[in-house]
């Protein structure tokens, strides 16, 4: 996994026959992603496959694509050798439904392999297990008139293996990753997944295989559920796991608009600012970013994509050290942005702070970045980019503060490089009781995993749509005791009645958790405070965990805060020095 972890940033390319209709079939716009048009438009494969006769991307230039990826700072390319429609972008001996049967008649993957080799980019293949046009693939789409009795799924698997052998040892260079997809259909089994992974490894033991070769993926979160699954890394799609996944390799794949394959009507582009911050965010959580482009039928990458890649590249040119070869942030959370780290020779550590929110001027007009909780001695601090400013690091009561110039070197994300002695020693932020001993756990301070989000509008946790959504807070108490639990929450009419649990960990056996029921309110932000019972907390640091038990409506609740109020005298005395 070495090169993969170092690379951190790659280009996804979705290209095939679907680029020709670009989301429009018989004059009508087909909802959904461009590459899904056969499915979304309920198109008979016999009406779709003739697109092969129109595929003629005369402006295709593999070297230009590689230049664009390199200029963006991307270190690898994952291209669709075959997507769900079954069309193959290389000269395959197994099928005539490939690029050699088009007017273009050029082996696109071979040209790209040559350009990648020359440019020092790792070439990888996305290969769909699901195949809507292969005569032996099952199950068939409901509107597909072909008789499924004639299909032989084992023969399909055999063809797929032959094709993978062509891709791995057919002169396309050293393949970095095989990126499988479409594994969720019922014909694909755990046994077939294990066998396919073994087959690929048998041809080239160094190939990285994503987890979609097997059946372990839990929905769009892309991470394996518990169990022994084949595959080297997790594949969250269109989302960033909020806490990363310690001990697991992963890669978020994402589009710049809402489609993977070219779709003429999709102009819902993310800004380059958002994409740069996504890259920082993903690196800070220990993952890779696989950012998609869907080339046009003429062979050009859409100008809107090229423009964004160039902006990211300009940022990477200056700040790439804070991304390549880094590992996840040692901080649970930082108020101003993100952080990555790298080990230095001799046991020291370099921290890279991605400053999204530049500090405002203090009373004396200066600017300082406060790094809460950093206990390690700081030996050097400097900003990346063209700035002569000498950053000074000062120890404070609860961390370090580092002086900064008035203007941020980069309006989107400035990088401050900070060297420390040894491995990071960090006192993680924790909520402490107020003067009356109460702990208020606000939505904005929650650490989130799974399907729950912070919502700005009413400052609550919301979109709590599935049982995997968990909110956690860290608290620090001088003395333990019993606490009354009040939740400020809301659910729209017809959405009440969900059950949830508030628990502490570690917890005393006597009263480890309490259950609450969500009231029905006038609207999602019409909050009410509900007393849901008592729990007991231990002295020292513990976690308060809120998770769904049963979701009655479309989502669990909107949660503004949880307040824990001491019920006995021991805990109601605030610990010395608490704020």
Question: What are the C-alpha distances in Å from 323 to residues 142, 177, 338, 566?
Answer: 46, 20, 11, 45
Across the strands, what pairs with 402?
Answer: 369, 393
- Smallest distance from ligand H79 to CB 128, Å: 7
Cβ neighbours, 10 Å, residue 120: 9
Across the strands, what pairs with 455?
Answer: 460
- Smallest distance from ligand H79 to CB 178, Å: 14
**Which residue of the chain is nearest ligand H79 when measured via CB?**
184
Rounded Cα–Cα distance for residues 537 and 575 (Å): 14
- Smallest distance from ligand H79 to CB 358, Å: 35
Cβ closest to ligand H79, residue 33 vs residue 72: 33
Residues in contact with ligand H79 by the rule CB under 6 A: 14, 33, 35-36, 181, 184, 219-220, 237, 253, 260
Assess contact for 526 and 425: CB atoms under 8 A. no
In SS3 terms, 486-548 reads as EEEEECCCCCCCCEEEEEEECCCCCCCEEEEECCCCCCCCCCEEEEEEEEEECCEEEEEEEEE
Q: Residues with Cβ < 8 Å from 119, sequence gap 6 or more?
A: 63, 66, 67, 69, 70
- Smallest distance from ligand H79 to CB 466, Å: 11
User: Strand 288-293 relative to strand 9-13: parallel, antiparallel, unpaired?
Assistant: parallel
Block residue for tokens 């608490």: 578
Cβ closest to ligand H79, residue 221 vs residue 418: 221
- Smallest distance from ligand H79 to CB 130, Å: 8
Cβ closest to ligand H79, residue 181 vs residue 281: 181
Cβ closest to ligand H79, residue 431 vs residue 466: 466
Q: Which helix (H) or strand (E) holds 284?
A: helix 272-284
- Smallest distance from ligand H79 to CB 475, Å: 35
Cβ closest to ligand H79, residue 440 vs residue 466: 466
SS3 call for 374? strand
Cβ closest to ligand H79, residue 35 vs residue 166: 35
- Smallest distance from ligand H79 to CB 517, Å: 30
Cβ closest to ligand H79, residue 51 vs residue 560: 51
């Amino acid at each position: 996994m070495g090169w993969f972890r170092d690379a951190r940033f790659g280009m996804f390319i979705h290209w095939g026959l679907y680029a020709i209709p670009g989301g429009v079939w018989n004059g009508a716009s087909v909802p959904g992603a461009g590459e899904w048009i056969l499915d979304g438009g309920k198109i008979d494969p016999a009406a779709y496959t003739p697109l092969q006769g129109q595929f003629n991307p005369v402006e295709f230039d593999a070297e230009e694509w590689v230049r664009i990826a390199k200029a963006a700072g991307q270190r690898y390319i994952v291209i669709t050798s075959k997507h769900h429609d079954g069309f193959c972008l290389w000269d395959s001996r197994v099928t005539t439904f490939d690029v050699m049967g088009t007017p273009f008649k050029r082996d696109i993957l071979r040209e790209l392999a040559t350009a990648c080799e020359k440019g020092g980019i790792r070439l990888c293949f996305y290969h769909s297990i699901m195949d809507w046009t292969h005569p032996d693939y099952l199950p068939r789409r409901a509107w597909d008139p072909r008789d499924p009795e004639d299909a032989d799924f084992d023969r399909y698997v055999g063809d797929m293996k032959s094709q993978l052998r062509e891709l791995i040892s057919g002169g396309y260079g050293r393949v970095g990753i095989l990126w499988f997809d479409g594994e969720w259909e019922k014909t694909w089994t755990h046994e077939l997944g294990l066998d396919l992974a073994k087959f690929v490894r048998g041809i080239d033991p160094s190939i990285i295989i994503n987890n979609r070769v097997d059946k372990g993926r839990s929905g769009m979160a892309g991470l394996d559920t518990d169990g022994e699954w084949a595959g080297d890394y997790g594949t969250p799609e269109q989302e960033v796991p909020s806490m990363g996944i310690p001990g697991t390799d992963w890669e978020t794949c994402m589009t710049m608009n809402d489609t993977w394959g070219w779709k003429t009507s999709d102009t819902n582009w993310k800004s380059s600012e958002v994409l740069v911050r996504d890259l920082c965010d993903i690196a800070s959580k220990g993952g890779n970013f696989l950012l998609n482009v869907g080339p046009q039928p003429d062979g050009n990458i859409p100008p809107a994509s090229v423009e964004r890649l160039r902006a990211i590249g300009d940022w990477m040119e200056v700040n790439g050290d804070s991304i390549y070869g880094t590992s996840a942030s040692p901080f649970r959370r930082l108020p101003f942005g993100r952080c990555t780290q790298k080990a230095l020779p001799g046991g020291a550590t370099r921290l890279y702070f991605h400053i999204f929110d530049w500090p405002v001027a203090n009373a004396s007009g200066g600017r300082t970045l406060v790094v809460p909780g950093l206990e390690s001695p700081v030996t050097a601090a400097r900003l990346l980019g063209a700035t002569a400013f000498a950053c000074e690091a000062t120890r404070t009561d609860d961390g370090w503060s580092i002086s900064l110039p008035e203007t941020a070197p980069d309006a989107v994300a400035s990088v401050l490089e900070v060297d420390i002695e040894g491995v990071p020693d960090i006192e993680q932020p924790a909520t402490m009781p107020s003067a009356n001993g109460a702990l208020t756990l606000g939505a904005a301070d929650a650490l989130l995993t799974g399907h729950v989000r912070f919502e700005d509008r009413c400052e609550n946790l919301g979109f709590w749509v599935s049982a995997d959504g968990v909110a956690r807070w860290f608290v620090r108490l001088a003395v333990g005791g019993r606490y009354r639990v009040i939740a400020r929450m809301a659910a729209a009419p017809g959405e009440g009645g969900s059950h949830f649990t508030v628990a502490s960990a570690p917890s005393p056996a006597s009263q480890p958790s309490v259950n609450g029921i969500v009231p029905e309110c006038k609207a999602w932000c019409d909050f009410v405070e509900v007393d849901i019972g008592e729990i007991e907390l231990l002295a020292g640091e513990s976690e308060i965990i809120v998770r769904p038990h049963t979701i009655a409506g479309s989502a669990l609740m909107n949660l503004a805060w949880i307040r824990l109020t001491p019920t006995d005298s021991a805990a109601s005395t605030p610990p010395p020095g608490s704020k």
